[in-house]
């Protein structure tokens, strides 16, 4: 890589676009005082990220913009572009050229560009520090700053040397890590404070959760009791239902049968209440018949009596004088037949008895015949009567049997009614049981709904519950006790409130947040530890590299010093400052060594030949310039910067030292491109390109390529 070009536009005295090409190893810028040479050196410094206005000889940003003159108006914008050759890809950019430019406006706004792309200052610094062009600008030695490194304190010196050794990039990384670490520690503190903030709430929620867990346990117990309770209750109700159906079914069917029997019997009784009128009429007819038959029979019997009396009379008078035997004398002395009560005529004369006997026999026989006839009639009447009586008996029997049937029905009806009322009372009691059943069944269903609300769906999921065989027939009171237990748990659960889910949700959220914060602290702590490790590693690397670098610089420094002073010695020494061994308490409680206290500073020890001078402060201006040049060149030799700008570094040198200086320049130009602002003839003679800077009456700097002789003239 090498420096290719510098373009200025509106920067300080360069009002017009001015381009400097650096095609030689040594480029000299010459010109009269105040023409703008140093402005060129400052243009580099500024374009490459310088933030100190003081080092740019300005107070405000706008001091860097061309301020106008009698012949030229003031400008509102200044820009400087530095162009590098990047064919070897020294910069991590895939272009052959890298152009770093900076712009400034009167309002103080700064803009940075890398190859035309707007970037941040940080990007520019990162890009340049990778090629040892850090912001300490050790490669740009401004006018009067040749002994800057001598004037600096030991830490500033260390910084310059670190920068020159290309270690700044590690320091940046370290600083960045430190910033990150600081931020991380702040974050840890913040997260810890957040964690502390939620801790009391979390504790409170934890207690609540214990309650919730208790409620959960109770709910689980409730579910288990519920399952058994429901299972048993279902069984109980099923049995109850069966018993009820049975209890109700029998009397119900019976009642129906009884009712229909009552209807039937009532109908029967209704119809059987009066005797059959035909039969009654017939009975009456038969009574009349009997009466008639008996009258006839009586008459005929009387007739028989008469006939029998006649026969007797006839028979007695014939044999023994029937009149004496069959006649009695009444109180009147009259003769009365005992049979016919007539009276009895006076016995006729016995003379005619025989005739009479015959007549009587005949008569008796006739009477007898008649009697037989009457007897037959009586017999016939008797038979008729018997028939009538039989019919009568039959009808009566029929009527009686009808009556019996009525009475039986009446009795049966009575019994049925009694049974009916009995059945009704049974049914009433069944109905009462039915009501009880309905109530219990309703309560069972309601309880299930309540159980689901209170303890979740699982509570009603009781069908799989198996009743232990040994308690299968437990008395109902046990179930009632179970029910009371359920009620007790329900009341306690209700007392605990129903906010369990909310609390759990809140607790889970809070705990998750706490865990997240804990993890965050863990992560942050780990990243803090990583950063600390990285910082330690970087410190270690910087320290090691620095020590190695200082060793190598010392070798060159001593050589250049001896060359310049014709003897003596010079070296850089690392000085451990008087530090307080302080430790900082970090948020992690880890004792961190105070980094700054650990850092070593750089001291410069010189010993001039033939002089007993050891301290820097005792050197003359020229000696200081020589010492710093020797050191600068030594550093540049060890870690050559891409280019080195030396603004009148040679101002204090006498002729012989100017020569030595010129020799060293030539040597150095083999490893670093050199841009020298000089009035020194010797120095000019070593340059491949000479630029003359002039300033006319318009106050605008102008640049021209010139020859050595011209340069000498201009410089004078
Ligand atoms: P010397 O040889 O004396 O060191 P020099 O050539 O290095 O001089 P510079 O210091 O570069 O000169 O230039 C100084 C000149 O630049 C001054 O004349 C100053 O007025 C001019 N200048 C500085 N800032 C501005 C500005 N913002 N606008 C116009 N001119 C400016």
Substitution site in 9, 20, 39, 701 for ligand 1 pocket (most atoms within 8 Å of beta carbon): 39
Tell me the CA–centroid distance for residue 711 and ligand 1, in Å: 19
DSSP state of 460: G
Helix, strand, or coil (residue 712)? helix
Residue 374 has phi, psi (to 5 degrees) of -60, -40
393 assigned to some structural domain: yes
User: Could you list the residue range(s) of the whole structural domain that residue 295 is in?
Assistant: 274-402
Q: Among all chains, which residue has been given the structure tokens 């009552």? A: 262
**C-beta pairs of 172-175 under 8 Å, 24+ apart in sequence:** 172/125, 172/126, 172/129, 173/534, 173/538, 174/535, 174/538, 174/539, 174/542
Measured CA to CA, the distance from residue 156 to residue 548 in angstroms comes to 19
> Domains in the chain: how many in total?
1
446: left (phi over 0), alpha (psi -120 to 50) or beta: alpha
Residue 514 falls within a domain, yes or no? no
Structure tokens at 457: 């769906």
Render pLDDT for 648-694 as a digit per residue (tens, 0 to 9): 988 888 888 899 889 989 988 998 899 999 999 999 999 999 999 99
Average pLDDT, the chain: 86
| CA 699 – ligand 1 centroid, Å | 9
Q: Let me know if residue 107 belongs to a domain.
A: no
**Nearest 5°: CA angle at 565, between 562 and 571?**
45
In the block, tokens 């008087």 appear at: 578
Q: Could you tell me if residue 333 is inside a domain? A: yes
Spatial CB neighbours of 471, under 8 Å, sequence gap ≥ 6:
478
Q: Which residue has the tokens 């572009």?
A: 81
Residue 283: CA count within 13 A, CB half-sphere? 15
Distance from residue 39's CA to the centre of ligand 1 (Å): 6
Task: List the one residue out of 633, 623, 715 whose CA is nearest residue 674.
Answer: 633
CATH number at 314 reads 1.10.287
The protein residue with its alpha carbon nearest to ligand 1, atom 26, reads 12
What is the C-alpha to C-alpha distance for residues 279 and 287, in angstroms, rounded to an integer? 12
Ligand 1 centroid from CA 622, angstroms = 25
Q: How far is the CA of 36 from the centre of ligand 1 (A)?
A: 4
Give 411-456 pLDDT, tens digit per residue.
Answer: 988 999 999 999 899 889 988 999 999 999 999 999 999 999 888 8
Per-residue model confidence (pLDDT) at position 585: 46
Give the pLDDT confidence score for residue 588 in this predicted structure.
46
Q: What is the pLDDT of residue 104?
A: 97
Residue 364 lies in a domain: yes
Q: SS3 for 713?
A: helix
Question: Can you tell me the distance from the alpha carbon of 691 to that of 41, in angstroms, rounded to the nearest whole number?
Answer: 13
Bridge partners of 29, per DSSP, are: 677, 691
Which regions of 591-685 does DSSP assign to beta strands (E)? 591-593, 601-607, 643-647, 673-677
Ligand 1 centre and the CA of 692: distance in Å? 14
Q: Atom 5 in ligand 1: which residue has the minimum CA distance? A: 34
Which residue, among 503, 506, 625, 602, has the nearest Cα to 554 in the 3D structure? 602
**In a mutational test of the pocket of ligand 1, which residue from 9, 12, 46 has the highest number of ligand atoms less than 8 Å from its CB?**
12
pLDDT of residue 315 exceeding 50: yes
Give the CA distances from residue 240 to residues 176, 254, 411, 623, in Å, rounded to whole numbers and listed in that order. Answer: 86, 21, 37, 125
> Does residue 714 form part of some domain?
no
Q: Which of 45, 106, 699, 700 to mutate to test the pocket of ligand 1 (most atoms within 8 A of CB)?
A: 699
One DSSP character per residue, 571-635 reads: EEEEE-------EEEPTTS-EEE-HHHHPPEEEEEEE-TTS---SGGGS-HHHHHHHHHHHHHHH
pLDDT score recorded for residue 1 = 53
484's tokens? 């009371």
Q: What is the dihedral of CA 126, 127, 130, 132, to 10 degrees?
A: -100
Residue 219 CB coordination number (10 Å)? 21
Predicted TM-score (pTM) above 0.75: no
Q: Tell me: pLDDT of 12 over 90.
A: yes
Question: Which amino acid residue places its CA nearest to atom 3 of ligand 1?
Answer: 33
Q: Cβ < 6 Å from ligand 1: which residues? A: 12-13, 31, 33-39, 63, 66-67, 143, 699
What is the pLDDT, as a whole number, of residue 107?
Answer: 93
What pLDDT digit, counting tens, does each position of 132-169 carry?
776 666 688 877 777 778 888 888 888 888 888 878 77
73 and 66 in contact (C-beta within 8 Å)? Answer: no
In a domain, 346, yes or no: yes
The answer to the question of residue 282 being in a domain is yes
The Å distance, Cα 650 to ligand 1 centre, comes to 20
Q: From the alpha carbon of 63, which atom of ligand 1 is closest?
A: 27
d(CA 12, CA 43): 9
């Amino acid at each position: 890589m090498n420096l290719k070009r510098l373009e200025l536009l509106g920067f300080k005295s360069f009002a017009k676009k001015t381009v400097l090409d650096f095609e030689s190893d040594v480029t000299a810028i010459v010109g009269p005082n105040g023409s703008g040479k140093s402005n060129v050196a400052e243009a580099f410094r500024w374009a490459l990220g310088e933030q100190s206005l003081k080092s740019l000889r300005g107070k405000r940003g706008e001091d860097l913009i061309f301020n106008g003159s009698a012949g030229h108006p003031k400008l509102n914008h200044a820009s400087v572009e530095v162009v590098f050759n990047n064919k070897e890809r020294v910069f991590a950019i895939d272009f052959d050229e890298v152009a770093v430019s900076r712009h400034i406006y009167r309002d103080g706004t700064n803009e940075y560009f890398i190859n035309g792309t707007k970037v941040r200052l940080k990007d520019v610094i990162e890009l340049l520090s990778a090629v040892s062009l850090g912001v300490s600008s050790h490669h740009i030695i401004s006018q009067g700053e040749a002994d800057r490194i001598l004037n600096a304190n030991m830490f500033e010196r260390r910084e310059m040397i670190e920068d020159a050794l290309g270690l700044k990039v590690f320091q940046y990384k370290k600083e960045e890590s430190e910033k990150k670490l600081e931020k991380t520690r702040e974050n840890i503190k913040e997260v810890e404070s957040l964690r502390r903030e939620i801790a009391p709430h979390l504790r409170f929620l934890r207690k609540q959760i214990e309650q919730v867990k208790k409620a959960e346990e109770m709910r689980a117990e409730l579910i288990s009791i519920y399952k058994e309770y429901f299972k048993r209750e279902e069984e109980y109700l099923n049995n109850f239902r069966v018993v009820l159906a049975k209890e109700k079914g029998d009397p119900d069917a019976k009642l129906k049968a009884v009712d229909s029997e009552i209807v039937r019997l009532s109908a029967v009784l209704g119809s059987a209440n009066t005797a059959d009128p035909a039969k009654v009429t017939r009975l009456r007819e038969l009574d009349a018949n009997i009466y008639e038959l008996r009258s006839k029979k009586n008459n005929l019997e009387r007739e028989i009596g008469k006939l029998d009396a006649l026969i007797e009379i006839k028979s007695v008078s014939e044999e023994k004088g029937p009149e004496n035997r069959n006649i009695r004398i009444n109180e009147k002395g009259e003769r009365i037949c005992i049979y016919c009560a007539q009276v009895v005529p006076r016995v006729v004369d016995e003379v005619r008895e025989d005739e009479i006997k015959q007549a009587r026999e005949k008569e008796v026989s006739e009477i007898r015949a008649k009697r037989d006839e009457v007897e037959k009639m009586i017999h016939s009447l008797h038979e008729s009567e018997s028939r009538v009586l039989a019919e009568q008996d039959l009808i009566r029997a029929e009527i009686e049997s009808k009556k019996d049937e009525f009475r039986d029905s009446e009795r049966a009806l009575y019994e049925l009614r009694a049974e009916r009322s009995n059945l009704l009372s049974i049914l009433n009691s069944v109905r009462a049981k039915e009501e009880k059943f309905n109530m219990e069944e309703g309560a069972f269903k309601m309880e299930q709904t309540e159980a689901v609300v209170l303890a979740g769906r699982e509570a009603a999921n009781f069908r799989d519950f198996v009743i232990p065989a040994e308690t299968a027939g437990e008395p109902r009171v046990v179930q009632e006790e179970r029910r009371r237990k359920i009620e007790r748990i329900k009341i306690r659960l209700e007392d605990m409130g129903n906010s369990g889910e909310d609390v759990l949700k809140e607790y889970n959220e809070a705990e998750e947040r706490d865990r997240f914060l804990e993890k965050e602290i863990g992560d942050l702590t780990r990243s803090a530890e990583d950063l600390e490790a990285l910082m330690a590693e970087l410190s270690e690397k910087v320290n090691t590299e620095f020590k190695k670098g200082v060793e190598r610089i010392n070798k060159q420094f001593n050589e250049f010093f001896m060359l310049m002073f014709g003897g003596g010695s010079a070296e850089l020494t690392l000085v451990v400052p008087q530090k307080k061994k302080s430790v900082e308490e970090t948020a992690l409680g880890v004792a961190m060594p105070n980094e700054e206290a650990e850092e070593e500073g750089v001291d410069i020890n010189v010993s001039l030949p033939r002089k007993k001078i050891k301290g820097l402060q005792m050197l003359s201006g020229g000696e200081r310039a020589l010492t710093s040049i020797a050191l600068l060149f030594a550093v540049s030799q060890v870690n050559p910067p891409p280019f080195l700008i030396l603004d009148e570094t040679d101002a204090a040198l006498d002729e012989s030292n100017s020569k030595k200086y010129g020799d060293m320049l030539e040597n150095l130009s083999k490893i670093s491109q050199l841009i020298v602002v000089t009035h020194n003839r010797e120095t000019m003679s070593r340059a491949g390109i000479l630029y003359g800077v002039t300033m006319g009456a318009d106050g605008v700097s102008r640049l021209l390529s010139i020859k050595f002789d011209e340069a000498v003239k201009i410089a004078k």
